[in-house]
Structure 1
């Protein structure tokens, strides 16, 4: 069975109200998930905060992933702060770190080697993600980046974000069919249109046939919930996903 996780964006209302991710983490031990994805933009980034999240995760037996909303490469060079992000991930006890695509496909051999050396040194799995921006989220740029990774045998996986394709007016099913053999993490969300505006929504109310895609995923690809959910609706959303994962 695919592991099930929660990106802490699920608790966006709490995050926006200043509640620390460590406190949120301490309250999700009863949700029956195996992974919690921490969001860098909501961290204070103090050593104490990072270590406390690591301690809580071990106590709860929850694996930590780290979401960094920064480009892995910029202007044909690896991100100048990339070691900082990896150090933070290490302090969190994170097994995975996720970046935006950026200028990845334009790296030369020296920059690629630097990136591989950093990944090998920290021994943390790296993925890139299709986000909601034209430069990092349309099918062409994602396909180009993945082809570059495969051609150069880089140690970088791919986080497929199901809902983000709609922000680029792309068909998520078409994207899934093209990219599914490269998916190493699956971010689950559904979308609908409210007053002509695109929004995330509960799984049962959205436009995307997410169940058929999850059924086609290899069993070693984790499924991570990533959309704001009201507290009283979280358990039902998890139950829906688990029902699909167990069949």
Structure 2
């Protein structure tokens, strides 16, 4: 059976803002989650929240991109992510590539040096932008990183491919060997946008996608967990994802 995490964003920004990530991390663990993913964008006071969450999280999600606008390596953002993951006791840091472009290739050596100085594993996520979440952008980045002697794993977000108009199954075939962690996310199309939904309600062929993705990597719930009995809802969804 799979290792199952809950991304704390699943509980909604407003609710997490009201109760804090520690409250929801404890709820997720009580519901049977193996661990949680702490979200940097939802921290109210990192200096107190991160130490309080220590031991509960195995992934820290940074809202910052590795390359800042203009294509320069944001080593400070990477440093903040590594520091947060270290405080949490999390082994993995999740980031997007940001504004990586042709002019950025020369700065890959800086990334290699910075990663050589930490035991935190950096995982690259496909986000909801064409520049950092499309298959061509990610293939270009991973190939450039390999050429620079940097071997990076990936967080594969099942739902985000739809936001950039791409096929998740084709992406999984191209990137599957790099996948170390899967964000489980169903999607439905509204008139103006895609929205995240539970897998069972998804309009996408998620079962076929799981057959292409590695079966032995951790999976995180990253779709809305809502209901009057939130513990029961979380317990049901964790069991559902674990059994896939």
User: What TM-score do the two structures reach when normalised by structure 1?
Assistant: 0.86
Residues 13 and 42 of structure 2 are in contact (CA less than 8 Å); yes or no, is this contact kept in structure 1?
no
Residues 126 and 156 of structure 2 are in contact (CA less than 8 Å); yes or no, is this contact kept in structure 1?
yes
Q: Counterparts of 1:80 and 1:181 in 2: how far apart (Å)?
A: 27
Moved over 4 A (4+): none
Residues 15 and 42 of structure 1 are in contact (CA less than 8 Å); yes or no, is this contact kept in structure 2?
no
Residues 225 and 233 of structure 2 are in contact (CA less than 8 Å); yes or no, is this contact kept in structure 1?
yes
CA RMSD between the two structures:
2.1
Alpha-carbon displacement from aligned partner over 1:92-116 (angstroms, at most 9, x marks no partner): 111111111124454345x323322
SS of aligned partner of 1:107: helix
* Structure 2 counterparts to residues 85-234 of structure 1, below 5 A: 85-104=81-100, 106-109=103-106, 111-195=107-191, 197-230=193-226, 231=230, 232-234=232-234
How many residue pairs are counted as aligned between the two chains?
237
Q: Counterparts of 2:51 and 2:92 in 1: how far apart (Å)?
A: 16
SS of aligned partner of 2:6: strand
Alignment correspondent of 2:73: 78
* Unmatched 5+ stretches in structure 2: none
Displacement of 1:31 after TM fit? Answer: 2.2
Structure 1 range deviating more: 31-40 or 146-155: 146-155
Residues 119 and 155 of structure 1 are in contact (CA less than 8 Å); yes or no, is this contact kept in structure 2?
no
Displacement of 1:220 after TM fit? Answer: 3.7
Alpha-carbon displacement from aligned partner over 1:168-190 (angstroms, at most 9, x marks no partner): 11111221122212212111101
Residues 90 and 122 of structure 1 are in contact (CA less than 8 Å); yes or no, is this contact kept in structure 2?
no
* Structure 2 counterparts to residues 2-21 of structure 1, below 5 A: 2-12=2-12, 15=15, 17-21=17-21
1:108/1:168 CA distance change after superposition, 3 Å: closer
Residues 192 and 199 of structure 1 are in contact (CA less than 8 Å); yes or no, is this contact kept in structure 2?
yes
Displacement of 1:7 after TM fit? Answer: 0.6
Alignment correspondent of 2:38: 38
Displacement of 1:161 after TM fit? Answer: 0.7
Q: Counterparts of 1:130 and 1:77 in 2: how far apart (Å)?
A: 19
